[in-house]
C-alpha cells in the first residue's frame, strides 16, 4: 500500500513538473493595447453641388444676384450693364485648406478667386482683404502683358513659373493650397505646380511691400476668412468646387 501511495505521489509531481516546464518555456501572450492606428485624413468636401448656391452669398450682402446663375451644373457669372460689383463668397470661413475648382473664362476676360476674405462694410470688395489667384485670357486681355497678372499667378505678387493655361473655350483645373501651420502656399494649374509662396511672416510681408497692395489696410491680414469668386465685368464659369481642410 505504501508503495502504491509513493507511486501516485511521484506521478503527480512529474505531471506538475512537466506543465511547469512547458509553461516556463512558452512565451506568454503579450498584452496588446487597442489603439486606432488609422489616422483620420482630411477629405474633399464639395462647396458647390451644381444645383444651388447653398453655402454662398453676395459679398457684404445676402441673396445671390441675378448676374450669377447655374447652367447645366455650372456656376456662371454674366455681367449686367450698370450693375455694381457682385462678387460672391462662402458662408463659411477657412484657415488651412486645399481648394480645387475648374474655371473657364470668356474671350478677353478677367476674373479670379480669393481666400482670407474679411467681410465688413469698411472693405468694399473681397480683394480689399483677400489675396487673389488670377483668372485671365492671357492672349486677349491687357493684363496678359504683366507676368504677375497672368492666369494662375498670385495676383501682382508671384508669376506662374510656366504657361499652362488652356484656350478660352476650355476648362482649367486649379488647385490652391494655403497652410499657415507650414507657412506654405502653392498653386497647381492643369496638374502643373506653378506658384509657391510663404503665407505669413517676413516672406509674405516682403511680397506685399513690393506689390500694389503695399498701403492697403487689411490686405492679407486675416489668417481665417472666406473664399470668394470675382465679378470683374467679364463672363466666367466655375464647376467642381471642393475644399479639403488641413
Number of domains in the chain: 1
Q: Domain containing 204 — which CATH number?
A: 2.60.120.560
pLDDT values of the chain reduced to their tens digit, one per residue, 246 residues: 444 444 434 434 444 444 444 444 444 444 434 434 445 678 999 999 899 999 999 999 999 999 999 999 999 999 998 888 899 999 999 999 999 999 999 999 999 999 999 999 999 999 999 999 999 999 999 999 999 999 999 999 999 999 999 999 899 999 999 999 999 999 999 999 999 999 999 999 999 999 999 999 999 999 999 999 999 999 999 999 999 999
- Residue 230 gets which letter from DSSP? -
Query: Is 13 part of any domain?
Result: no
Query: Is 68 part of any domain?
Result: yes
Domain that holds residue 60: 45-245
Query: Is 112 part of any domain?
Result: yes
Cβ atoms of 153 and 195 within 8 Å: the answer is yes
Query: Is 66 part of any domain?
Result: yes
- Strand 236-245 vs strand 226-229: parallel, antiparallel, or unpaired? unpaired
Residues in Cβ contact with 73 at an 8 Å cutoff, skipping those fewer than 6 apart = 50, 51, 239
Cell of 110: 478677367
Residue 158 CA to residue 98 CA, distance in Å, equals 19
Q: Is the dihedral of CA 149, 154, 160, 166 positive or negative?
A: negative
Query: Is 162 part of any domain?
Result: yes
Query: Is 75 part of any domain?
Result: yes
Amino acid at each position: 500500500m505504501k508503495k502504491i501511495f509513493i507511486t501516485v505521489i511521484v506521478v503527480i509531481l512529474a505531471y506538475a513538473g512537466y506543465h511547469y516546464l512547458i509553461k516556463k518555456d512558452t512565451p506568454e501572450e503579450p498584452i496588446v493595447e487597442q489603439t486606432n492606428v488609422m489616422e483620420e485624413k482630411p477629405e474633399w468636401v464639395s462647396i458647390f453641388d451644381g444645383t444651388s448656391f447653398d453655402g454662398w452669398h453676395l459679398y457684404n450682402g445676402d441673396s445671390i444676384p441675378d448676374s450669377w446663375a447655374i447652367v447645366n451644373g455650372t456656376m456662371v457669372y454674366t455681367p449686367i450693364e450698370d450693375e455694381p460689383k457682385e462678387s460672391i463668397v462662402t458662408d463659411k470661413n477657412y484657415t488651412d485648406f486645399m481648394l480645387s475648382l475648374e474655371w473657364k473664362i470668356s474671350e478677353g476676360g478677367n476674373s479670379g478667386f480669393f481666400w482670407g476674405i474679411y467681410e465688413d462694410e469698411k472693405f468694399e470688395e473681397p480683394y480689399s482683404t483677400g489675396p487673389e489667384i488670377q483668372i485671365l485670357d492671357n492672349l486677349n486681355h491687357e493684363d496678359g502683358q504683366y507676368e504677375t497678372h497672368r492666369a494662375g499667378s498670385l495676383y501682382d505678387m508671384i508669376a506662374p513659373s510656366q504657361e499652362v493655361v488652356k484656350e478660352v473655350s476650355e476648362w482649367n483645373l486649379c488647385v490652391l493650397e494655403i497652410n499657415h501651420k507650414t507657412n506654405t502656399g502653392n498653386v497647381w494649374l492643369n496638374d502643373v505646380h506653378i506658384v509657391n509662396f510663404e503665407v505669413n511672416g517676413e516672406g509674405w510681408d516682403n511680397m506685399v511691400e513690393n506689390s500694389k497692395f503695399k498701403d492697403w489696410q487689411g490686405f492679407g491680414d486675416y489668417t481665417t476668412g472666406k473664399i470668394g469668386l470675382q465679378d470683374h465685368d467679364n463672363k466666367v464659369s466655375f464647376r467642381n468646387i471642393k475644399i479639403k481642410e488641413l
